[in-house]
């Protein structure tokens, strides 16, 4: 009996030692789990970080195919932290995936281009554009396509390959083309719900037209010109040329039945071109008016017929997104002198009354129209705006500005965007306005009568102007109360 009792005691001790040892072994071998957080909030616990990442990648094959990438990653803001514990439970990986998918988009690797369109005087987050691409080459190719849109594919290829011919007599030479933007590039993981560009031509259209991707078709009518089609459809000539790249300038002819596109630009970049241009331009003949005391009002006579001359003008032209911002005159050579037309008017025509049928061009020759009367993209705000006059550039800072007709000075001073300006009432139902002057001539004073062709001021850049030029307006009635007219129909 004692032997049996001893045996029972020994067996009991052995079992006790076994369970004590088992408990100790369990306590000294804790479990390793991975806690999942999204933007700091717990989502779940998984057994393996690699298992969750692999599951995310395998469940998003459609995005891998769409963007031609090998891997789809977790959302930005997802953290997986290792945790060692003696107890706890894990979640099914598909359940954790589902929670993540409902809260935030997954990501792919690519590049973020941040384009800053702010000027020195303003900083607005609305002017910062974020563009996402799969690789940097897509953005580079899109920019090159934009360059070609502004200067023409052939010109850009010759510029890039340094194959442009030098100007011998007339022609143009592209000195430079570049983006005038602060652009930062960063490799990022892009959320798949962002607009991600994988095609350079699609990105080029966005850089030119923004969200205005739809262009309407217009059928050319008899008498249509690029200028009239642009005006009637409320776009600028530059916008017409960007939407219809087969045309090179506003002088190209249209034919009835021809289909053209009408697109409103909203550029996301500032494309600057600097071009040397030498061309032969017509020098319009002047008209000299003489008063004859023996003739009555309305008894007009052309004593000498005018003949236009010809000049070879060389300039450096700077453009921003196709609109002229600055012209530097280089040379001006007369090839053929102009002959003035001489017209005799009856003496009874009051000297301070302008002749409605004879308006003088208000600057020297060698000019270029940097902006026409009509719709355009404002060079400062980039917004759609109606331009109420002509911008006449190229005669140089400080060159003279002439009264376009006889009349009485009714304003001479400074006014907002016009800068230094002069208004002349021609006492015949019309008035003219001259803006952005560097200075007003000392003899141009309110109440004084000025003669057609008299110097009233000098070309400048006062007010809101991107470069030296004359802003010229013709009004039916008095400025700011009457009706603005297209000066080209009168000059």
- 44-65 pLDDT tens trace: 999 889 999 999 999 999 999 9
Q: What is the pLDDT of residue 245?
A: 82
Which of 79-83, 118-122, 143-147 has maximum average pLDDT? 143-147
DSSP-assigned letter for residue 479: T
Closest CA to 77 of 110, 112, 97, 105: 105
Average pLDDT estimate for 149-171: 92
| Average pLDDT of the segment spanning 317-333 | 92
Q: What pLDDT score was predicted for residue 350?
A: 45
CATH architecture of 213-264: Roll (3.10)
Output 4 or 344, whichever has higher pLDDT.
344
- Residue 46 pairs in a beta bridge with 34
Average pLDDT over residues 80-100: 85
Each residue of 362-414: pLDDT tens digit? 999 999 999 999 988 888 877 888 999 999 999 999 999 999 999 999 999 99
Q: How far apart are CA 4 and CA 114, in angstroms?
A: 88
pTM of the model: 0.76
Give the helix/strand (H/E) hosting 219.
Answer: strand 216-219
Cα of first residue to Cα of last residue in the chain, in angstroms, is 138
Number of neighbours of residue 488 by Cβ within 10 angstroms? 12
- CB-based contact 364:399 (threshold 8 Å): yes
pLDDT at 415 over 90: yes
Task: For residue 308, give the DSSP letter.
Answer: -
Can you give the pLDDT at residue 22?
44
Taking residues 129-155, what's their average pLDDT?
92
DSSP for 160-216, written as a single string: HTT-PPPPSSSEEEEEEEEE-SEEEEEEEEEETTS-EE--HHHHHHHHHHTT----E
Q: Which of 74, 77, 32, 79 is nearest to 53 (CA)?
A: 74
- Mean pLDDT of all residues in 469-477: 96
H helix runs in 233-329, sequence order: 237-243
Q: Which two tokens stand for residue 276?
A: 């040397």
Distance CA 470, CA 390 (A): 8
Q: Which residue did the predictor score with more confidence, 346 or 198?
A: 198
The answer to whether the beta carbons of residues 472 and 389 sit under 8 Å apart is yes
Give the span between the Cα atoms of 147 and 179, in whole angstroms.
Answer: 9
The 10 Å CB-count burial string (b at 16+, else e) for 373-402 is bbbbbebeebebeebbbbbbbbbbeebebb
Question: What tokens were used for 473?
Answer: 């307006």
Is a pLDDT exceeding 60 seen at residue 119?
A: no
pLDDT reading at 348 higher than 80: no
Give the pLDDT of residue 83. 83
Using an 8 Å Cβ cutoff, are 405 and 453 in contact?
no
Each domain of the chain, given as residue ranges in start order, spans 30-104, 113-162+179-210, 213-264, 270-489
Q: Which class is domain 270-489?
A: mainly beta
Structure tokens at 178: 């570049």
Furthest-apart CA pair in the chain: how many Å? 166
pLDDT of residue 300: 73
Higher per-residue confidence, 296 vs 156: 156
- Beta strand residue intervals within 220-367, DSSP E: 259-262, 271-283, 287-292, 301-304, 309-320, 323-336, 341-346
Question: Rounded distance, CA 65 to CA 394, Å?
Answer: 54
354 pLDDT more than 90: no
pLDDT class for 264, splitting at 50, 70, 90? confident
- In the chain, what percentage of residues exceed pLDDT 70? 90
What are the structure tokens assigned to 310, written together? 């010809």
Chain mean pLDDT for the chain: 88
Residue 266's pLDDT is what? 87
Helix axes 153-160, 136-151, angle to 10 degrees: 120
d(CA 40, CA 56): 19
Q: How confident is the model at residue 342 (pLDDT cuts 50, 70, 90)?
A: very high
pLDDT at 14 (0 to 100) = 60
Least confident piece of the model among 76-80, 202-206, 287-291 = 287-291
The tokens of 425 are what? 């009432």
pLDDT, tens digit, for every residue of 203-233? 999 999 888 778 899 999 999 999 999 999 9
Residues above pLDDT 90, as percent of the chain:
66
For residues 114 and 116, what is the distance between their CA atoms, to the nearest angstrom? 7
């Amino acid at each position: 009996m004692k032997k049996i009792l001893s045996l029972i005691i020994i067996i009991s001790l052995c079992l006790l030692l076994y369970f004590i040892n088992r408990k100790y072994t369990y306590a000294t071998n804790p479990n390793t789990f991975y806690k999942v957080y999204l933007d700091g909030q717990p989502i779940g616990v998984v057994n393996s970080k690699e298992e969750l990442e692999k599951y995310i990648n395998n469940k998003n094959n459609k995005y891998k195919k769409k963007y031609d990438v090998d891997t789809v990653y977790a959302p930005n803001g997802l953290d997986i932290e290792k945790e060692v514990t003696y107890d706890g439970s894990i979640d099914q990986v598909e359940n954790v995936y589902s929670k993540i998918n409902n809260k935030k988009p997954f990501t792919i690797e690519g590049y973020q281009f941040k384009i800053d369109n702010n000027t020195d005087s303003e900083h607005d987050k609305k002017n910062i554009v974020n563009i996402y691409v799969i690789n940097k080459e897509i953005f580079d190719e899109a920019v090159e396509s934009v360059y070609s849109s502004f200067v023409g594919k052939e010109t850009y290829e010759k510029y890039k390959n340094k194959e442009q011919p030098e100007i011998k007599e007339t022609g143009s030479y592209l000195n430079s083309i570049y983006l005038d933007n602060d652009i930062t590039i960063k490799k990022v993981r892009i959320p798949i719900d962002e607009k991600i560009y994988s095609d350079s031509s699609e990105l080029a259209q966005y850089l030119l037209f923004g969200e205005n991707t739809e262009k309407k078709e217009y059928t050319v009518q008899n008498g249509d010109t690029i200028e009239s089609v642009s005006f009637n459809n409320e776009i600028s000539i530059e916008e017409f040329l960007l939407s219809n790249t087969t045309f090179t300038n506003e002088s190209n002819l249209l034919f009835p039945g021809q289909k053209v596109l009408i697109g409103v630009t909203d550029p996301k970049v500032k494309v600057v071109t600097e071009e040397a241009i030498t061309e032969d331009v017509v020098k319009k003949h002047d008209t000299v008016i003489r008063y004859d005391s023996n003739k009555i009002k309305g008894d007009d006579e052309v004593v000498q017929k005018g003949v236009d001359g010809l000049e070879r003008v060389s300039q450096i032209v700077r453009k921003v997104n196709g609109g002229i911002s600055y012209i530097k005159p280089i040379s001006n050579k007369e090839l053929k002198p102009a002959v003035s037309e001489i017209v005799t008017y009856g003496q009874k025509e009051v000297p301070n009354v302008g002749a409605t049928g004879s308006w003088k061009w208000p600057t020297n020759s060698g000019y270029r129209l940097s902006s026409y009367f009509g719709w355009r993209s404002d060079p400062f705000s980039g917004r759609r705006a109606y331009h109420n006059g002509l911008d006449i550039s190229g005669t140089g800072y400080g060159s003279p500005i002439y009264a376009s007709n006889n009349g009485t000075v009714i304003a001479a001073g400074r006014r907002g965007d016009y800068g230094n300006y002069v208004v002349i009432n021609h006492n015949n139902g019309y008035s003219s306005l001259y803006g952005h002057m560097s200075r007003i001539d000392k003899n141009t004073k309110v109440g004084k009568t000025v003669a057609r062709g008299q110097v009233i001021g000098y070309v400048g850049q006062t007010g809101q102007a991107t470069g030296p030029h004359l802003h010229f307006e013709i009004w039916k009635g008095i400025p700011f109360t009457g009706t603005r007219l297209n000066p080209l129909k009168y000059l």
